[in-house]
């Protein structure tokens, strides 16, 4: 017989341990359960709250701001413009003044307009307290005038690029492009349109009266804090960066435009950081697509939706009924990124953008011409080289991050090439090339849809897509100064999703590096 006490002592310890263990397991399981429930509810909350829908909720109380048209002045045969970037205060229509960075004192700069065949100079003064640059997005021009990260303007300095305008009539734009600082500078208000007219191709009947029947529509998403200040906080969960819940058109929220003609041409620019808009009209009323990034289409195309990613432009003509109101909307964009990434990149969001409010009596416009663009389209069989580039993450192209002194590609001047771009990054991207307008030959092996015909400098790339582009590099060779290609989701660009190419005289040996043209990198 064993002593029960001893026995007790022998077994009670393990028994206690066992029950303690059991208690811990039970507590652990309970805690894990609580954590799982908490995580799941956070995810459900984030998923649900990531969805924004303002359709039908807008009062359209503010008359939309139309940026002033600036045709510059003629000096020694050149058309000269002046832009000044400086802090300013702006009324978005929130009821409170907002600190912004303005161009010539305003949120969004004047609309510059020049003609094909003219020589232009733009004097850009930096009155901010950080470096900036000014890039002429969509413009064919020498690399030293391009205004990318290699042409910094230091605080207090004025930069005066000069070039000759030689490209078809188009809706281009300008915006800062400093290394790693592009998204915030655009977000604060530095951007504007640059319209090119072609005196030899002005199709009669295409609305062309700025601010009357030819309207700039710069679309941006914003977040405002309660005090009216701009909030640039970015959700950790968004793969593409900043997405705002409030739309500003030309810097006006809740906007309407009073239409006095029975046709109106909207030149729509997506100057947002990451948001992609699927444009359409109330009631799915059709419109005529007349132009894309690089200018007019050969003829109008009737559509009821057209999608624009950051950097893109479209020109549409809308039929207006006297006395009626018609909302321009963004319906859920087709991002092709899957349930999760669609939700967190704005793929389930809808917005009312702008109300077109027709006066009771309106002017009858001429019928829309059936021939618009008269340029011959470039011939793919003339391409001298093929290149492949792969979007590999949210900050790399071909697994490389932007390096100011690395030349990724060298192309020969006055040639054309085929660039095949694939998005293997798993999230939405787009692809933009400086200096040139390209033709989309194929999207995923098929001919492009109508909205991707014509000239483009930016193209949306859903995950797992591939585009084949015919790209021309003409007129300007410079072995020392590169042009950029990049994703125009600007926080991707700022994180390094950008590469550099030089255009050089035929026979120049390809260089692998260029000077970093910033004086204090
Ligand atoms: Cu609007 Cu390098 O871009
Ligand atoms: Cu550009
Ligand atoms: Cu991207």
Q: How confident is the model at residue 159 (pLDDT cuts 50, 70, 90)?
A: very high
> Quick one: pLDDT at residue 234?
87
Q: H or E stretch including 354?
A: strand 351-363
In whole angstroms, how far apart are CA 12 and each of 2, 7, 15, 427? 15, 8, 5, 59
Q: H or E stretch including 11?
A: helix 4-49
- CA of residue 135 to ligand 1 center, whole Å: 7
End-to-end CA distance of the chain: 88
- CA of residue 140 to ligand 2 center, whole Å: 10
- Please state the rounded mean pLDDT for residues 29-46: 88
Residue 16 has pLDDT above 80, yes or no: no
- Please state the rounded mean pLDDT for residues 123-143: 98
> Quick one: pLDDT at residue 5?
46
Cα separation, 237 vs 266, in Å, equals: 34
| β-pairing verdict for 313-319 and 385-391 | unpaired
Query: How much of the chain exceeds pLDDT 90, in percent?
Result: 87
Cα separation, 336 vs 230, in Å, equals: 30
82-95 pLDDT tens trace: 999 999 999 999 99
Residue 211 has pLDDT above 60, yes or no: yes
Report phi then psi at 297, rounded to 5: -80, 165
- CA of residue 146 to ligand 1 center, whole Å: 10
> Quick one: pLDDT at residue 50?
85
Contact 129, 185 (CB under 8 A): no
Q: How confident is the model at residue 480 (pLDDT cuts 50, 70, 90)?
A: very high
In whole angstroms, how far apart are CA 19 and each of 8, 25, 140? 15, 10, 78
- Please state the rounded mean pLDDT for residues 235-263: 96
What is the maximum alpha-carbon separation in the chain? 120
- CA of residue 186 to ligand 1 center, whole Å: 11
Contact 128, 155 (CB under 8 A): yes
In whole angstroms, how far apart are CA 263 and each of 85, 288, 353, 366, 367? 35, 10, 19, 8, 9
> Quick one: pLDDT at residue 28?
86
**Which of 433, 255, 430, 431 minimizes the C-alpha distance to 353?**
255
Range 292-322 burial, b when 16+ CB lie within 10 A, else e: bbbbbbeebbebebbbbbbbbbbbbbbebee
Question: How many Cβ atoms from other residues are within 10 Å of residue 54's Cβ?
Answer: 17
> Quick one: pLDDT at residue 12?
54
Tokens encoding 154: 């230091």
Question: How many Cβ atoms from other residues are within 10 Å of residue 351's Cβ?
Answer: 25
Contact 240, 274 (CB under 8 A): yes
Contact 416, 378 (CB under 8 A): yes
- CA of residue 197 to ligand 2 center, whole Å: 19
Cα separation, 38 vs 215, in Å, equals: 49
In whole angstroms, how far apart are CA 438 and each of 119, 289, 327, 420, 471? 23, 18, 32, 12, 5
> Quick one: pLDDT at residue 13?
56
218-245 pLDDT tens trace: 999 999 999 999 999 988 889 999 999 9
Q: What is the DSSP letter of 312?
A: -
Handedness of CA 260, 266, 267, 269 (dihedral sign): positive
Dihedral through CA 325, CA 307, CA 230, CA 429, nearest 10? 170
Which ligand has an atom closest to residue 276 CA?
A: 3
Residue 383 has pLDDT above 50, yes or no: yes
- Please state the rounded mean pLDDT for residues 338-362: 96
Q: How confident is the model at residue 8 (pLDDT cuts 50, 70, 90)?
A: very low
Residue 6 has pLDDT above 60, yes or no: no
| β-pairing verdict for 438-443 and 295-303 | unpaired
> Quick one: pLDDT at residue 217?
98
> Quick one: pLDDT at residue 507?
83
Cα angle for residues 176, 267, 162 (degrees, 5° grid): 40
> Quick one: pLDDT at residue 516?
92
Mean pLDDT of the chain: 94
The three-state (H, E, C) secondary structure of 121-158, written as one string: EEEEEECCCCCECCEEECCCCCHHHCCCCCCCECCCCE
> Quick one: pLDDT at residue 14?
65
Atom of ligand 1 lying closest to residue 484 CA: 2
Which ligand has an atom closest to residue 313 CA?
A: 1
**Which of 354, 158, 321, 121 minimizes the C-alpha distance to 253?**
354
Binding pocket residue ranges, ligand 1, CB within 6 Å: 135, 137, 175, 177, 311, 432, 434, 484, 486, 488
**Stated pTM of the model:** 0.93
Tokens 């580039």 locate to 389
Which ligand has an atom closest to residue 397 CA?
A: 3
Question: Whose CA is closest to atom 1 on ligand 1?
Answer: 137
Dihedral through CA 207, CA 210, CA 215, CA 216, nearest 10? 130
Question: Whose CA is closest to atom 3 on ligand 1?
Answer: 137
Burial of 132 (0-12, 13-18, 19+ CB in 10 A): buried
Tokens encoding 98: 């907002």
Atom of ligand 1 lying closest to residue 486 CA: 2
Residue 198 has pLDDT above 70, yes or no: yes
> Quick one: pLDDT at residue 322?
97
50-62 pLDDT tens trace: 899 999 999 999 9
């Amino acid at each position: 017989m064993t002593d029960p006490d001893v026995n007790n002592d022998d077994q009670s310890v393990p028994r206690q341990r066992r029950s303690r263990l059991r208690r811990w397991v039970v507590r652990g399981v309970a805690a894990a359960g609580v954590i799982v429930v908490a995580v799941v509810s956070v995810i459900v909350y984030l998923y649900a709250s990531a969805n924004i829908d303002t359709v039908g909720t807008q009062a359209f109380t503010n008359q939309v701001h139309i940026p002033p048209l600036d045709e510059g002045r003629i000096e020694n045969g050149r058309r000269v413009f002046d832009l000044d970037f400086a802090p300013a205060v702006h009324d978005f229509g929130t009821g409170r003044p907002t600190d912004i960075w303005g161009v010539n004192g305003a949120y969004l700069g004047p609309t510059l307009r020049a003609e094909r065949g003219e020589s232009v100079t733009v004097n850009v003064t930096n009155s901010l307290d950080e470096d900036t640059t000014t890039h002429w997005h969509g413009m064919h021009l020498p690399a030293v005038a391009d205004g990318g990260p290699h042409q910094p303007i230091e605080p207090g300095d004025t930069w005066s690029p000069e070039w000759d305008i030689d490209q078809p009539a188009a809706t281009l734009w300008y915006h800062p492009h400093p290394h790693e600082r592009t998204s915030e500078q655009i977000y604060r208000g530095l951007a504007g349109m640059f319209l090119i007219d072609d005196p030899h191709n002005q199709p009669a009947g295409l609305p062309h009266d700025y601010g009357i029947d030819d309207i700039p529509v710069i679309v941006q998403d914003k977040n405002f804090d309660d005090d009216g200040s701009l909030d640039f906080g970015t959700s950790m969960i968004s793969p593409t960066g900043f997405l705002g819940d409030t739309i500003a058109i030309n810097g006006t929220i809740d906007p309407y435009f009073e239409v006095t003609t029975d046709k109106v041409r909207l030149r729509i620019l997506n100057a947002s950081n990451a948001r992609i808009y699927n444009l359409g009209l109330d009631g799915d009323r059709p419109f005529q697509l007349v132009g894309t990034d690089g200018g007019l289409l050969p003829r109008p195309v009737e559509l009821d939706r057209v999608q624009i990613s950051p950097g893109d432009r479209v020109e549409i003509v809308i039929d207006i009924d006297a006395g009626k109101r018609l909302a321009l909307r963004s319906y859920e964009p087709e991002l092709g990124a899957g349930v999760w990434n669609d939700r967190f990149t704005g793929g389930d969001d809808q917005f009312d953008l702008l109300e077109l409010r027709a006066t009771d009596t309106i002017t009858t416009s001429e019928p829309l011409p059936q021939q618009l663009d008269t340029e011959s389209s470039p011939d793919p069989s003339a391409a001298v080289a093929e290149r492949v580039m792969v979007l590999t993450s949210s900050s790399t192209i071909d697994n490389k991050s932007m390096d100011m002194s690395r030349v990724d590609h060298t192309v020969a001047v006055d040639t054309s090439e085929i660039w095949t771009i694939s998005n293997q990054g798993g999230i939405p991207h787009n692809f933009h090339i400086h200096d040139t307008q390209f033709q989309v030959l194929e999207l995923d092996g098929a001919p492009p849809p109508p909205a991707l015909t014509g000239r483009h400098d930016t193209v949306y790339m859903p995950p797992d897509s591939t585009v084949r582009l015919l790209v021309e590099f003409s007129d300007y060779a410079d072995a020392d100064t590169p042009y950029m290609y990049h994703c125009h989701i600007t926080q991707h660009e700022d994180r390094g999703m950008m590469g550099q190419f030089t255009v050089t005289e035929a026979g120049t040996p390809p260089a692998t590096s260029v000077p970093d043209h910033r004086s204090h990198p």
